[in-house]
């Protein structure tokens, strides 16, 4: 059987415009000049043109090579890059140059580091605050292998939003997130909520990986029980034939139904749709 031929054709509602425009080119030049990475480019986000033209970007610290080999992710895998302690200053410079009111900071997973790179998250938060005090800072963190000490480093720097994605349902973790554990991700979110009760927590899932609707609703209930305030739901898109294939494309109407179910569960905000990503319209979600 021809696997490529068996893949479902991408529907019209998943077609994003090609990136371009003056703001896009300006931000691309800024990121290149400062030697920074963005998850927008490294993870092949379909919204890069829209977001960059609105002068928003998600900065990816700790290099652009990940120590894990998740089946869904386009970020490079392999031996990690050396830690760049000047990176927080350059991220803050970019945030100031863009005049951002809401900056999102994420990273590759650094299992080679005892603290998983938490120190660099804290330094980046503080550098942005020093350079542009009016800017809110949202962090999208890896699981730090469940280390509370690492989480404390990030939380002590007082981000404005704490995000950690569960990504998919527990049954699919071995295929989609090898090296991660569903229960550990829930504990990361629950610990942040316990440690900082006033800090909004956030998580997200990709749909279309082969999950059942009932499984998605169960995960949503688990997240609500952990005190997660903001939930994102988007369509998974396979970055290449070597990644986990798309099992199906979820219709916009299904996303709307799940969003309503999430509101009934008590989430403060649910952002759901085919092109939604974890940091999509992040400022408006808070």
Domain hosting 229: range is 16-285
pLDDT confidence band for 56 (50 / 70 / 90): low
Judge whether 249 lies within some domain.
Answer: yes
Question: Domain tally for the chain?
Answer: 1
d(CA 91, CA 126): 11
**Strands 37-38 and 58-61, sheet pairing:** antiparallel
In a domain, residue 5? The reply is no
Classify residue 281: in a domain, yes or no. Answer: yes
For residue 227, being part of any structural domain is answered with yes
10 is a domain residue: no
CATH classification at residue 46: 3.20.20.70
pLDDT tens across 109-145, in order?
999 999 999 999 999 999 999 999 999 999 999 999 9
Task: Evaluate whether residue 193 is within a structural domain.
Answer: yes
- Round to whole Å and give the CA distance between 104 and 111: 21
Q: What pTM did the predictor assign?
A: 0.89
Q: Residues 18-34, buried b or exposed e (16+ Cβ, 10 A)? A: ebeeebbeebbebbeeb
Say if 8 falls within a structural domain: no
Q: Is 70 exceeded by the pLDDT of residue 282? A: no
């Amino acid at each position: 059987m021809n696997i490529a031929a068996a893949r479902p054709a991408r529907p019209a509602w998943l077609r994003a415009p090609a990136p371009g425009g003056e703001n896009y080119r300006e931000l691309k030049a800024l990121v290149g000049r400062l030697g920074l990475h963005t998850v927008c480019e490294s993870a092949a986000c379909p919204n890069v043109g829209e977001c960059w033209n609105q002068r928003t970007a998600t900065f990816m610290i700790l290099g652009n090579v990940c120590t894990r080999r998740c089946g869904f992710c386009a970020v490079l895998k392999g031996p990690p890059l050396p830690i760049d302690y000047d990176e927080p200053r350059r991220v803050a410079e970019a945030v100031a140059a863009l005049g951002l009111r809401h900056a999102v900071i994420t990273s590759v997973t650094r299992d080679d580091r005892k603290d998983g790179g938490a120190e660099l998250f804290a330094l980046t938060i503080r550098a942005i605050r020093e350079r542009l005090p009016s800017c809110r800072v949202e962090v999208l963190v890896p699981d730090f292998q469940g280390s509370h000490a690492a989480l404390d480093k990030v939380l002590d720097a007082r981000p404005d939003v704490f995000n950690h994605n569960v990504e998919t349902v527990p049954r699919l973790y071995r295929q989609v997130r090898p090296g991660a554990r569903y229960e550990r991700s829930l504990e990361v979110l629950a610990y942040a909520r316990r440690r900082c009760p006033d800090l909004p927590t956030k998580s997200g899932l990709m749909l279309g990986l082969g999950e059942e609707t009932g499984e998605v609703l169960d995960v949503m209930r688990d997240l609500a029980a952990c005190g997660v305030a903001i939930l994102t739901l988007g369509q998974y898109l396979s970055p290449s034939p070597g990644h986990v294939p798309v099992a199906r494309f979820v219709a916009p109407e299904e996303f709307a139904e799940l969003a309503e179910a999430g509101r009934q569960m008590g989430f403060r905000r649910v952002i759901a749709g085919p092109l939604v990503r974890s940091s999509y319209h992040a400022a408006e979600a808070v």
